[in-house]
Amino acid sequence: MTTTSARTPRPQPRGGRARAAIAAKTLRTDRWWFAPLITVVGLSAWVIYATVRVFMHKWYWVEQYHYLTPFYSPCVTDRCVEGSSHFGQFLPGWWIIPDAALTLPFLLLFRLTCYYYRKAYYRSFWLSPPACAVPDGHQSYSGETRFPLLSQNLHRYFFYAAAIISLINTWDAILAFHSPEGFGFGLGNIILLVNVVMLWAYTISCHSCRHIIGGRLKHFSKHPMRYKAWTGVSWLNVRHMQLAWITLGTLALTDFYVMAVAAGWINDLRFIN
């Protein structure tokens, strides 16, 4: 898929330097197109799965073990099955309203404005540009200086919302240590816990979080605790891309497992009660 066909040099962005007079579209001979392609496939598959599940309105709660899928947490419509609403039911159960309508929009905006996902979908869906040393797929480039992309700067506020939602997911995972006999522990608990730990790791590794923890300081030496916290967040931050993908996987796996148990396709593997 290496592209070396001749082309007319494009107009340059305002104030930008003229591109070198190279007739080829790109001189790269490696598989630069593979990363954008796999990103399109992976993100599209996940979005389709999540959309189907969110509007399915069933198989999200296992009454016996109190497993609640994160796609329905917290369940706040009056359609939510008994026991699944840990924070009340104050929205109408219309088909178009997700049962977790209170949190899903913020989670969507948190991921959409995430620094890593921006890079991923700018490159793969918008081809802007698809890879280093490969021309932009568009005639002009304004970056994030105008509406609507200017609103990407709201990311830090979605981070606060995501942190609160991670607390709710943590609470769900704690409540799931349940069985008809009282305390219980099964494979579902492990899956819910791993998902929550990964969600925290992704949330804390956020670039905005790193700035909140260590930004606006002149001397780290005078703030040893913040330096320590910033060092930990920085360690996670360099793994942010991996965590972004891992959490998509753990979210889908957790949801699928809860769906499979709730639907009666499989039995939960129980270790205690």
Phi, psi of 63 (to 5 degrees): -55, -40
240 binds ligand FES (CB under 6 A): yes
Residue 69 binding ligand FES, by CB under 6 A: no
Part in contact with ligand FES (CB under 6 A); list of ranges 25-33, 97-105, 202-210, 263-271 = 202-210
With CB under 6 A as the contact rule, the residue among 60, 61, 121, 159 that binds ligand FES is 159
211 binds ligand FES, rule: CB under 6 A: no
Minimum distance, C-beta of residue 183 to ligand FES, in the bound complex (Å): 35
Q: How far is the CB of 246 from ligand FES (least distance, A)?
A: 13
210 in contact with ligand FES (CB under 6 A): no
Q: In terms of C-beta density within 10 A (0-12 exposed, 13-18 middle, 19 or more buried), how is residue 112 classed? A: middle
Confirm if 261 and 60 have CB atoms less than 8 A apart: no
Q: Cβ(220)–Cβ(234) under 8 Å?
A: no
Element (H, E) at 167: helix 155-175
Those residues whose C-beta lies under 8 Å from the C-beta of residue 149, and which sit 6 or more positions away, are: 142, 143
Size of the site for ligand FES (CB under 6 A): 9
Could you tell me where the beta strands, DSSP code E, fall in 99-140?
A: none
Q: Is 206 in the site for ligand FES (CB under 6 A)?
A: yes
- We find the least distance from the C-beta atom of residue 244 to ligand FES, in angstroms, to be 6
Q: Verify binding: residue 208, ligand FES, rule CB under 6 A.
A: yes
State yes or no: residue 207 binds ligand FES (CB under 6 A). yes
Residue nearer to ligand FES on the CB measure, 155 or 178:
155
Give the C-alpha separation, 177 to 203, whole Å: 24
